[in-house]
Amino acid sequence: MVAASALRVRDLVIRDRTGAPRLEVPRLDIEAGDRLVLVGPSGAGKSTLARALLGDVSPGLCVASGAVSIDGVDALGANARQVRRLRRRSSFVDQDPGVALTPWRRIDQLTEENAARPGLGLHYARELGLPVDEDWLRRRPAQLSGGQRRRVAIARALSVDPGLVVLDEPTAGLDPDTARAFTELLLSVTAGRTLVLVTHDARLAHAVGGRVVTVDAGRVYQAAPPVDTGRGPRRQAPDPEGTHTGLTFDSVEVAHPNSTPIGPLDAVVPTRSLLALAGRSGSGKSTLLRAAVGLHPPIRGRVLIHGEELAPRVQNRPRAHIDSFALVPQDSSLALAPAVTVGRRLRRLARDHRTDLSQVCEELQLGPELLERRPGALSGGQRQRIALAAALLRGPDVLLVDEPTAALDRSTSSAVLTRLEQASAAGAAVLVATHDADVIARCDSVLTLPDAG
């Protein structure tokens, strides 16, 4: 393994297109082998800082002044040769694993394509608990759970044998038991390297045991790790007078090639209800949501809406059935067009469906300045809420949301949950795939999937 890297940040100022400051870091030193944890509210600048530490600035932003150096090399002003050297010595894993993984490549190709030596990517995949048998390695990213895609992305990042590893929300989308075990694995495989970690997970911040820096409104502050105070349950009863059945899973079984089937699932998500779909990482929650919208046909059973059976594949469904659903995937990058400003898309949806864009944005804590940005210039938490806003503006009968709070701080999570409650109260059948105890506590009931065989 290569030697750990040291970082220095001096008088760094990053601005947006309007010239407004997005991040200001007067001084930050990270010694070789140190662990640094970045915490703070969604959209505060954590991901911007994490990327800047590697010399990367998101589209729509620019470096106004200052310097970032890795082992004495200017990361922001590096020439082509120095960039190649830095890429061999550092790795970044985005909080949206779909960003890092080419969708049409196989998992064995993705883990090994940049490996410092043959087999190193597969080694780390095994260390991270992935089933690296021949059949599994032939899969594409879309055939994995969100937690598995994140671990593939981390194994791929470690395969270059970097001295510096920057991880953005590595436990997002994992259930508590899996997150705890995964944190132990993560600290083991990054031992001896310099580690920078962005997280909202108080337990992870404590477990890492390094220095904690809070990023808030684009400024950095020394802070102790946050304390997870918990919250009492809040439940909202469904309307018993609803006239429609909502979404029905009738003995539905789904499967990936050469894998054990998931199910059968028999469940009803009534209109005017908010239900949680719980289960460990890899238990099939995301796959069942995709089956409901026709993106992953069941191998057995039926999916119905308001008592009408749906065609297994979305391309065979009538427009009325397609328009009845809205899916917000866990990887928000998969739901947003990278070349289009988010405001352009949201305004079109609001106009087509005669819904109030400003109200939805206010409820989801999305400021008007965000609408003029492209997805790449937003934080992961902001992208999640933009994808949710797009779904809400359509006013669907059935709203399916995959891990909506995974990359959000507690306050922003509460705003998102309040908006989901409002959607169910207005008549939607809302099903949320989640590991978050706070989310489950605010749902009417819980559908729990057994561990995948």
Cα separation of 282 and 279, whole Å? 8
Distance CA(384)–CA(377), nearest Å, equals 13
Pick the more confident residue, 345 or 238.
345
Tell me what pLDDT residue 2 has.
66
Its pTM stands at 0.58
Which residue is it, tokens 């409901």? 292
Tell me the β-bridge partners of 221: 214
Determine the pLDDT at residue 224: 38
Local confidence band at 302 (pLDDT 50, 70, 90 cut-offs)? very high
pLDDT over 90 percentage in the chain = 21
Q: How far apart are CA 166 and CA 170, in angstroms?
A: 10
Instruction: Copy the structure tokens of residue 373.
Output: 């940005």
At 220 the three-state DSSP class reads strand
pLDDT-derived band at 98, boundaries 50, 70, 90: low
Phi, psi values for residue 194, rounded to 5°: -80, 130
Residue burial 142-177, b: 16+ Cβ < 10 Å; e: rest: bbbbbbbbbbbbbbbbbbbbbbbbbbbbbbbbbbee
| Of 235-239, 253-257, 373-377, minimum mean pLDDT range | 235-239
Going from N- to C-terminal start, the domains of the chain cover 7-222, 252-448
CATH domain 7-222 topology = Rossmann fold (3.40.50)
Residue 77 burial (CB count, 10 A): 12
Residues 61-87, mean pLDDT to the nearest whole number: 83
Residue type, 398: V
Within this chain, domains 7-222 and 252-448 share the same CATH topology: yes
Where are the extended beta strands (E) located within 171-320?
194-198, 211-216, 219-222, 247-254, 262-269, 273-278, 300-305, 308-309
* pLDDT value at residue 234: 33
Instruction: Give the DSSP per-residue string, 318-360.
Output: -HHHHHTEEEE-SSGGGGS-TTS-HHHHHHHHHHHHT--HHHH
pLDDT per residue as tens digits for the range 396-414: 999 999 988 887 888 888 8
Q: Tokens 């979404």 correspond to what residue?
A: 247
Q: Which residue has the higher pLDDT, 76 or 182?
A: 76
Given the candidates 3.40.50.720, 2.40.37.10, 3.30.428.10, 3.40.50.300, the CATH classification of the domain at 252-448 is: 3.40.50.300
453 has a pLDDT exceeding 70: no
Task: Summarize pLDDT for 406-439 with one digit per residue, the tens.
Answer: 878 888 888 999 999 999 988 899 999 988 878 8
